[in-house]
Amino acid sequence: MAKTNPLPEGLRFYPGFLDRQQQERLVDQVRDVVTVAPLYVPVMPKTGAPMSVRMTNCGPLGWVTDKDRGYRYQATHPLTGKPWPDIPSEIGAIWDAVADYCKPPEACLVNFYGEDAKMGLHQDRDEQDFSAPVVSISLGDTCLFRVGGLHRKDPTRSFRLESGDVLVLGGESRLRFHGVDRLYPGSSTLLRQGGRINLTLRRVNP
Ligand code: MD3
Ligand code: FE
């Protein structure tokens, strides 16, 4: 018998979790968020090198980064100084359906990938509470996503994340290294101008 290759413990993948209509409503809700909290180009701590994704947030806290103060969560948009807009109800409902966690998310990071954007291998460790999972929602063009182990040099596995897919990273997988290697431009018709939106829901405080 062929040997199966199960997903790592704590990584739950829901391909096609959202139908087309739900995806379109989420895009509308993300547009409303971006109207209040415009996308901006985040930069790496210390070097100030720009990242290739554009970002914004909704929820009580947002993940931000800049040259001098580095990665952190804060309650306001770094450019407008205004509080982040609320997490739209349909986005919060996805957390309720899949997170299996007793508290609501505090941060919803919105990553926008143009056709050449990518995200290097990293861990999500700016949160106080690692017992809560991270929930990732993909919209628009397919990407090639990579997940490794708890050390940067551990072997990695690659997956495609398509529009409507939901990924939950909890348990032993919460601190795995991960990244986005590339997009497949033109693979989805959801976003008229192409590109990919990833929504990452996180609990920050215990
Ligand atoms: C946590 N975003 O914003 S989805 C990020 O598609 C980020 O935009 C990617 O990584 C994106 O930090 C990936 C979220 C994700 C995926 C895998 C993980 C978070 C994870 C594995 C372990 C812990
Ligand atoms: Fe991450």
Residue 101 in domain: yes
Ligand 2 centre and the CA of 76: distance in Å? 20
Residue 183 Cβ contacting ligand 1 at under 6 Å = no
Take residue 19 and report the two structure tokens written for it.
């139908």
C-alpha dihedral (94, 97, 103, 105), degrees to nearest 10: -10
Nearest CA owner, ligand 1 atom 13: 179
Take residue 153 and report the two structure tokens written for it.
């040099």
Query: How confident is the model over 56-104, as pLDDT tens digits?
Result: 999 999 999 999 999 999 999 999 999 999 999 999 999 999 999 999 9
Task: Check if the beta carbon of residue 111 is closer than 8 Å to that of residue 130.
Answer: no
Query: How confident is the model over 149-182, as pLDDT tens digits?
Result: 999 999 999 999 999 999 999 999 999 999 999 9
pLDDT at position 3: 67
Residue 174 Cβ contacting ligand 1 at under 6 Å = yes
Ligand 1 centre and the CA of 181: distance in Å? 12
Ligand 1 centre and the CA of 43: distance in Å? 17
Q: Which residue has the tokens 């994340």?
A: 161
The percent of residues above 70 in pLDDT, for the chain, comes to 99
Residue 5 in domain: no
Residue 124 Cβ contacting ligand 1 at under 6 Å = yes
**Domain range holding 139?**
11-202
Confidence at 192, pLDDT banded by 50, 70, 90:
very high
Element spanning 89, H or E: helix 89-98
Q: Which residue has the tokens 């914004």?
A: 56
* Structural domain count of the chain: 1
- Rg over alpha carbons for the chain, rounded to the nearest Å, is 16
HSE toward the beta carbon, residue 164, CA cutoff 13 A: 15
Residue 4 in domain: no
- Domain with residue 119: its CATH number is 2.60.120.590
Global pTM reads 0.96
Residue 149 in domain: yes
